[in-house]
Amino acid sequence: MKAATVLLLASGMLLSAVPGLAQSVESLPGYFAIENLGVFADGELEVDIDLRGPMAKIVAAATAEEDPQFSAAMDKIQRIRVQVGSVAGRDSSGVRAAIDGAVKKLEGSGWYRMITVRDEEEAVYVLALESGGLLRGLSVLVDDGGEEVVLVNIAGEMDPELIGSLIRNVDQLEGLRDDIEKGLPEP
């Protein structure tokens, strides 16, 4: 079963590489290039997930029987980008400045802050881009005070009622990442 899942994922990657078959991720209204914030130096990333277009559709198809609600939510997602890394031992003011700059840029592009939590050491921002009663983008930026940074961007059509399903099933994405890392079994 895991070999079939990995084969489906590989097929999706090949299809996504063919020009014209998928809309450019950068053109999506909810797209925000968290990977370009310059927060992480080489070797600092601990988690790096980038599901886009056909890959997100494969996740939707693979979960259709087990969790139809999660599958329906994933079917309209065009990109999920997650980066988590340690920034311990670095000047935290540069990290905080990059995150604060990203928040200003998002707000200047029509995004609104849903949640802000700040204290002397930590900062958490959750921003959304809304249009037509749907969320088109969701970004989460977390700086825990110099130890770890979490950056998330989700682009696509998100029915607010189905967002809860994504949150409850985030472990399925982690399991998918584990399957990809393990690769296909030896013949």
The C-alpha atoms of residue 139 and residue 99 are separated, in whole angstroms, by 11
The C-alpha atoms of residue 122 and residue 85 are separated, in whole angstroms, by 15
Per-residue pLDDT of the chain (187 residues; tens, 9 = 90+): 333 333 333 334 333 333 334 468 788 899 999 999 999 988 899 999 998 888 888 888 988 898 887 788 788 889 999 999 998 888 788 899 999 999 999 999 999 999 999 988 899 999 999 988 889 999 999 999 878 999 999 999 887 766 665 566 666 655 655 655 565 444 4
The C-alpha atoms of residue 38 and residue 35 are separated, in whole angstroms, by 7
In Å, how far are 50, 97, 150 from 31, measured between CA atoms?
12, 21, 17
Q: pTM of the predicted model, to two decimals?
A: 0.73
Q: Is residue 165 packed enough to be buried (19+ CB in 10 Å), middle (13-18) or exposed (0-12)? A: middle
**pLDDT at 127 (0 to 100):** 95
Q: Residue 135 in contact with residue 129, Cβ under 8 Å?
A: yes
